[in-house]
Amino acid sequence: MKLSALMAGALMCVPFLSRAGEPNYTLDVKMKNIPDSVVFTLGCDDDPKYKQKVAIIGDSLHFELDIREDFPIEFYLTARNPQNKQDRFITSFYGGRNISQKLNNVADGFAAAPKITGAPWDEATAEWQRIYRDYSDTMKALREERERLMPQNQADRDGVVRLDSVTGPKVSEIGRKLQACGKEFDEAMKQWLMSHPDVPEAVSLMSWRYAKFSREELEAFGAKVPPAMMEMPAGKMLKKRLDTKIIAVGDKLEDYDLVGVDTDSVAIRLSQFTTPYILVDFNSLGCGACRMAAKQEIPKIIEEYAGELTFVSYSVDEERKRMLRAHEIDKATWPTIWNGSGSQGMDCIKYGVTSYPTFFLFGPDRTLIDTFVGWGPKYLSGKISPHIGH
């Protein structure tokens, strides 16, 4: 096909006029057998001022930009076919001043992951992509295998799936494999990150995967990040995390109090509750495990530990209406704290929360005595009972 016809309209509709001189960054794209109806877009979420200047050379795409920052910029390249919503492509990568990159997809259409070269960090980034792709493929296969076993087993009125004597052990074994795969991935991720503090993708990953690392590891990583990369949006977030002490077992609630409003817009704080124990759950509307926990176990925990433990939800949703929707779906009888700071706000940073649900258990002296992530049948009771006991 001829991509020149494809991009002619985009060139007229989205012109880019450099004010700072000649372009200092180029990207050449090569793809095979893309339908003529596909529309390509090069963009940058962090800085909307960047608009691509596109030149068409034969069957290729050629982008030129005048990058004005000294740090790497994260770009995305998308391709969408208005005539077929399933026919689409997206990839992201880091570019920078005085860099010429090439993006090639050797397979027909959008079937294969593209290879990008030209920046000093591209090879290391490709290594990370292979690690993540292998992990994702393995997890997907295991989950599909588990799903094939599950449909024949119907949930009871409480929403709990009862497994027969044949299926149960098979599902349990898949669960163990999923856990093992997750642990292997975490270790591979840590090794890659600690080996590549000078790679933009590593800085970005560390800015939200930080909870997997000790304070010493975080500081060692941060000390090796090039100063220019610490000026990236992800670098600034990483610096904020490095400058913030994350809560740990033994820390006082008074130093990590959560403040906001409840579902009735009444002021609320975590430290106001007077039961001997407080269990707070960081959750979001989009978290399926959060909804399952709210349906299957949290009401039982509240009933079992009545007078001893107060359960409180902390919503990480930035929009109040999303918090209210989660409260409604859960049919929650427990209090919720919301302040709109979101998943990147200081509350999530100081609690080290990067996934949901994440639980924190405070004891009678209001020190943190345990924290746990995720949910499964009877998960909470198994975590709480060693501390409270019944």
* Apex 259 CA angle, 382 and 372, nearest 5: 20
Sheet of 88-95, strand order: 39-43, 73-80, 88-95
Please tell me whether the overall predicted TM-score, pTM, comes out greater than 0.75 for this model.
Answer: no
Higher pLDDT: 385 or 9? It is 385
Residue 87 makes CB contacts below 8 A (sequence gap 6+) with 35, 38, 80, 81, 109, 110
pLDDT of 222: 94
Q: Which pLDDT band, with edges at 50, 70 and 90, does 149 fall under?
A: confident
What pLDDT digit, counting tens, does each position of 24-52 carry? Answer: 999 998 877 777 777 788 888 877 777 66
Residue 229 makes CB contacts below 8 A (sequence gap 6+) with 71, 72, 198, 200, 203, 235
Give the pair of three-digit tokens for residue 261.
């409003």
Integer angstrom CA distances of residue 300 from 47, 306, 346, 363, 386:
48, 10, 31, 20, 17
Q: What's the whole-number average pLDDT of the chain?
A: 85
What pLDDT digit, counting tens, does each position of 317-334 carry? Answer: 999 999 999 999 999 999
Q: Which pLDDT band, with edges at 50, 70 and 90, does 17 fall under?
A: very low
What pLDDT digit, counting tens, does each position of 86-128 carry? Answer: 767 788 899 999 999 999 876 666 666 688 999 999 999 999 9
Q: Which pLDDT band, with edges at 50, 70 and 90, does 12 fall under?
A: very low
